[in-house]
Amino acid sequence: MSIAWVIIVTCIVIFCQSFLYDRLGLKKILYSRTFSQSSVFEGENIEMVDEISNKKWLPLPWIRLESKIHRHLQFESKKKQDDELEETEFHRTLFSLRPYQKITRRHKITCVKRGYYALHTVSMSTGDVLGFNEKFKTVDSSATITVYPALVDVEAIPLPSHSWLGDITVRRWIIEDPFVIAGVREYADGDSLNTINWKATARSNRLQVSQKDYTADHYLMIYVNFDQTEDIWMPIENERLIEKALSFAASIANYTIANGISTGFGCNAYLKEPFSNPTERTKESVRLEPESGMDQIYFILDTIAKLKMDRSRNFNYFLLEDIENQVRNKDILLITSIVSDEMKSNIRQLEAMGNAVEIIMVDDESQVENSYEPSEVGGYYG
């Protein structure tokens, strides 16, 4: 055979295989993507599982998958710096498939930050053996992972020195109820003047104070203030501080619920899409009513994971809503980096309505290491 025929046959073969892969290359290719767990804690490792099948007789010398992955889901093969500017990067995987072959590939991922991460589509491309032709296709492949905030030991949290949280030694919530009077007793050093019972004092000619009874009917609300300035239009500059406050809130909720305390959560942020209405001009703040039990701690953790790093309203207005709604008989724990004069005024009004208010200040100075394992959630650890 002359060299001319060799060239002609070669060109025909190249053209035919190129045409074949152009028409059939991405036909009957099935792809799915899942995470090994639906929810994890910040800093934990999970697996992302790619599963691809070639359901036809034509082998694929190569097929490439590309998708956007949030930078806070770090692949073991490529660790990213925390200060990278881009929120997402492209993750690429290359396969070679024989006829009717199925391949499963596992990628180890570290979830480095609280959040809700949704993967939607994958770009699929393949071509002929010699690389003269390439075909692209985008397929739906949804997968989601919820990353809970890191939990820390409650003893490592800078609680107020007089805080009732530091004195919990039983699994019941027992505190003095200012509205339940059990009797009177003689005045002692340290008693507040507003507890003096003047009628009993007049009868006995000695100072008497009202003796408060105890109740197990109080509830705990943990509030996180997303404000770092009083200007609602200013962006959140120190996100690390907010993340620390959310970690404190989750850890305290885990501890109190484990001790039988009905606990709720609130903040002046809002849930990210698709859990909030994108058309609403004013986003709804988050308020979870106090409940007890394992379902409640996971409800709180799930809600915190899905919070947007943004504010729905000023925190003073958030507290004012409680005042307007006549909230009473609740123990409120505020976790904040600032306390303004207006906040102090709102706190005094809440206290005058029969609520007990404590404040935890967060700053960049204290570094608290994660100290909980997932199996410890909902249990007592102190």
pLDDT of residue 174: 40
Greatest Cα pair distance, the chain, in angstroms, is: 130
Asked if 167 and 310 sit in the same domain, the reply is: yes
The residue out of 97, 132, 148 marking a domain boundary is: 148
Asked if 164 and 35 sit in the same domain, the reply is: no
pLDDT of residue 13: 72
CATH number at residue 323: 3.40.50
Domain residue limits at 188:
177-213
Q: Rounded to an integer, what distance in angstroms lies between the CA atom of residue 17 and that of residue 108?
A: 37
Check whether 14 has a pLDDT greater than 50.
yes
Asked if 273 and 183 sit in the same domain, the reply is: no
Assign 371 a pLDDT band (cuts: 50, 70, 90): low
Tell me the C-alpha to C-alpha distance, in Å, between residue 147 and each of 50, 116, 238: 20, 6, 20
The residue out of 213, 231, 262 marking a domain boundary is: 213
Asked if 61 and 182 sit in the same domain, the reply is: no
Backbone angles phi, psi at 26, to 5 degrees: -100, 10
Q: Please indicate, yes or no, if residue 92 is contained in any of the structural domains.
A: yes
Asked if 170 and 186 sit in the same domain, the reply is: no
CATH number at residue 126: 2.60.40.10
| Residue linked to tokens 């102190």 | 382
Grouping H, G, I as helix, E, B as strand and the rest as coil, residue 270 is coil
Percentage of the chain beyond pLDDT 90 is 52
Q: Please indicate, yes or no, if residue 10 is contained in any of the structural domains.
A: no
Q: What is the mean pLDDT of residues 351-370?
A: 80
Q: Please indicate, yes or no, if residue 4 is contained in any of the structural domains.
A: no
Tokens encoding 78: 């490529």
Backbone angles phi, psi at 13, to 5 degrees: -65, -45
Asked if 143 and 242 sit in the same domain, the reply is: no
Percentage of the chain beyond pLDDT 70 is 82
pLDDT of residue 372: 54
| Residue linked to tokens 């800093």 | 43
Helix 239-258 to helix 294-305 angle, to the nearest 10 degrees? 170
Mean pLDDT of the chain: 83
Assign 30 a pLDDT band (cuts: 50, 70, 90): very high
pLDDT of residue 159: 77
pTM of the predicted protein model: 0.79
Q: Please indicate, yes or no, if residue 19 is contained in any of the structural domains.
A: no
Spell out a b/e string for 50-81, using b for 16 or more CB atoms within 10 Å of the CB, else e: bebbbeeebebebbebebebbbbbbeeeeeee
Asked if 166 and 293 sit in the same domain, the reply is: yes
| Range of lowest pLDDT (79-83, 300-304, 343-347, 362-366) | 79-83
Asked if 270 and 370 sit in the same domain, the reply is: yes
One-character DSSP codes across 171-210 = SS--EEEEEEEEEEEE--TT--GGGB-HHHHHHHTS-EEE
Q: Please indicate, yes or no, if residue 18 is contained in any of the structural domains.
A: no
pLDDT of residue 208: 80
Asked if 137 and 241 sit in the same domain, the reply is: no
Q: Please indicate, yes or no, if residue 7 is contained in any of the structural domains.
A: no
pLDDT of residue 1: 56
More confident residue, 83 or 151: 151
Tell me the C-alpha to C-alpha distance, in Å, between residue 89 and each of 46, 70, 84, 115, 344: 19, 6, 10, 17, 44
DSSP H helices in 230-359: 239-258, 294-305, 315-324, 341-352
- The model's pLDDT over 191-217, given as tens digits with 9 standing for 90+, comes to 767 777 877 777 777 888 776 544 455
Asked if 341 and 304 sit in the same domain, the reply is: yes
Grouping H, G, I as helix, E, B as strand and the rest as coil, residue 37 is coil
Assign 108 a pLDDT band (cuts: 50, 70, 90): very high
Q: Please indicate, yes or no, if residue 1 is contained in any of the structural domains.
A: no
Q: What is the mean pLDDT of residues 44-70?
A: 93
Assign 316 a pLDDT band (cuts: 50, 70, 90): very high
- The model's pLDDT over 246-297, given as tens digits with 9 standing for 90+, comes to 999 999 999 988 888 889 999 999 999 888 777 677 788 999 999 988 899 9
More confident residue, 354 or 187: 354
Structural domain tally of the chain? 3
Share of the chain residues as helix, strand and coil, in percent rounded to the nearest 5? 25, 35, 40
Q: Please indicate, yes or no, if residue 258 is contained in any of the structural domains.
A: yes
Spell out a b/e string for 299-337, using b for 16 or more CB atoms within 10 Å of the CB, else e: bbbebbbbbbeebbbbbbebbbebeeeebeebbbbbbbb
Asked if 127 and 138 sit in the same domain, the reply is: yes
**Strand arrangement, sheet containing 45-54:** 29-35, 45-54, 102-111, 73-75
Q: Rounded to an integer, what distance in angstroms lies between the CA atom of residue 95 and that of residue 93?
A: 7
Asked if 104 and 51 sit in the same domain, the reply is: yes
The residue out of 197, 213, 229 marking a domain boundary is: 213
